[in-house]
Amino acid sequence: MKILFVSAVLASLSLTSLSSHGSLLQQVDLAKSNDPVYLQSLTTYKRQQQLKPIARSQLFPQADLNANYTSSDSEADDWSDSTDNLHYDVSVTQAVYDQSVFAANKLASQQLDAASLSLQSAEQQLIMRVATAYFAVLDAQAQQRFADAEVQALEKQLEQTELKFSQQDTTITDLLEAQAGVDQAKAQHILATTQLAIAEAQLKEITQTEVATTSAAYPSQQALLQLDAGTLEHWLDAAKRNNPALALALNGEAQAKSQLAITKSAHLPTVNLVARHSADEQQGSLENYQQNSISLQLKLPLFKGGLTSAQVAQSRHDLNNAALGTEQILRQLDREVQTAYLNVKSHQNRVKALELAEKSSTKALDATEQSFVIGTRNRIDVLNATRNLYLAKRNLASAQFDLILSWLSLQHGAGQLDRKVVEQVSQWLVAN
């Protein structure tokens, strides 16, 4: 009877469905609309998109209008006079040669590229934050369900032990052990329920969506078997090609070079073409004045007290710092990718080992129950076997979710964590 009860409980746990939290992809989409960290990055990207037209505006003619109107009254003992004067001039200036303007346009393009890379990085970081919170919820949900099943199984054993004790067919020790087992299982269930509530609150912080817990979701065994980490060299090469943090560091070097060019341009001449029309009109005067002119203006800096040389030196140091920053990012990326790769391998082996442990624990419980029936094992042995089985199931569930998270972390390090990967992982969470 006890064996049939435990088997029924475990069978109900194996019939899993997609979580009512929605798929991982749905949670990521919700986060993109509600997470303030990501939305700040998106707003910054939109702001940076204006850098290009701002810099490009200096390549076009600059037109200005200046005007003033003067009214004056003059008086003497036997004389008075009133005059009105209008003066205006319109000027149009076109840069013919200004190296700083050309370099600034190049810098603006690089800054726009950097904004795009920053948004890409923010999106991948958002996916990792959502995935971490999402799988924490699913793991906590699994822990709660297994804890609940363990409580039911141990309560059933307690009922049987109480019945046998009333019939003087078992000892008080067995009864107390059975009661202690139930109490410990209930304490574990309380802890699991609390952890689930905390995990749901963490997910809600990102998505701003209430989380329900009416059904559980587990990775399908087939999906986990399809995980192929390949070689470490493959992931390191992918990271060097695709990781947005590394691309952003390289972009920072390119920006530092452009900034150095802008600073150096202060030593160079500038040439502007200026067209001007001006006029003075005085009320009542027959000699109104107008002038049209076109000029080519050359400006050559001669001496600024060492200012430009000092600024060039600063820009050179900034370029060196940018190169060192790139080297640091590259080393950090190598370490992070290697760590994620080793974690995937480790979690794969751990999942396999825990699957064997679950099967062994199931057989061990079955054998212990049979031995108890014929009297070669006592109730304490059955309690221990039951605890070991549910411990193995809880550990296996956590290991499966850890494996998926380590896989996502590896994709993140390689710069390949995108919607396609999220869709793939979402499809893994189906009924076994």
Beta bridge partners of 72: 83
> Residue 377's pLDDT is what?
78
Question: With the CA atoms of 127, 124, 345 and 217 taken in that order, what torsion angle do they form, in degrees rounded to the nearest 10?
Answer: 10
> Residue 162's pLDDT is what?
82
CATH code (residue 290): 1.20.1600.10
Give the span between the Cα atoms of 278 and 201, in whole angstroms: 69
DSSP alpha helix (H) spans, 208-306: 221-225, 232-242, 244-264
Handedness of CA 33, 39, 43, 49 (dihedral sign): negative
| 143 in any annotated domain | yes
Residue 18 has pLDDT above 70, yes or no: no
> Residue 431's pLDDT is what?
46
| 382 in any annotated domain | yes
> In this predicted model, what pLDDT tens digit does every residue of 182-206 receive, in sequence order?
898 899 889 989 999 999 999 999 9
pLDDT confidence of 216, banded at 50, 70, 90?
low
Q: Rounded to two decimals, what is the model's pTM? A: 0.82
pLDDT confidence of 161, banded at 50, 70, 90?
confident
* Number of domains the chain contains: 1
Residue 46 has pLDDT above 60, yes or no: yes
| 224 in any annotated domain | yes
| 220 in any annotated domain | yes
| 142 in any annotated domain | yes
Enumerate residues 6+ apart whose C-beta is below 8 A from 381.
Answer: 368, 371, 372
Among residues 223, 222, 415, the alpha carbon closest in space to that of 329 is found at 415
Give the least confident one: 19-23, 32-36, 150-154, 193-197: 19-23
pLDDT confidence of 284, banded at 50, 70, 90?
low
| 76 in any annotated domain | no
State which residues form the domain around 212.
2-70+82-428
The amino acid at 207: T
Find out whether 235 and 352 touch, Cβ atoms under 8 Å.
Answer: no
> Residue 290's pLDDT is what?
86
Residue 376 has pLDDT above 70, yes or no: yes
Tally of CA atoms within 13 A in the half-sphere of 217 that contains its CB:
21
Give the least confident one: 46-60, 210-224, 246-260, 345-359: 210-224
> Residue 430's pLDDT is what?
62
Find out whether 55 and 42 touch, Cβ atoms under 8 Å.
Answer: no
> In this predicted model, what pLDDT tens digit does every residue of 321-357 receive, in sequence order?
999 999 999 999 999 999 999 999 999 999 999 999 9
Residue 14 has pLDDT above 90, yes or no: no
| 77 in any annotated domain | no
Residue 170 CB coordination number (10 Å): 18
Give the span between the Cα atoms of 379 and 195, in whole angstroms: 31
Dmax over CA atoms of the chain, in Å, equals 141
Find out whether 48 and 255 touch, Cβ atoms under 8 Å.
Answer: no
> Residue 429's pLDDT is what?
79
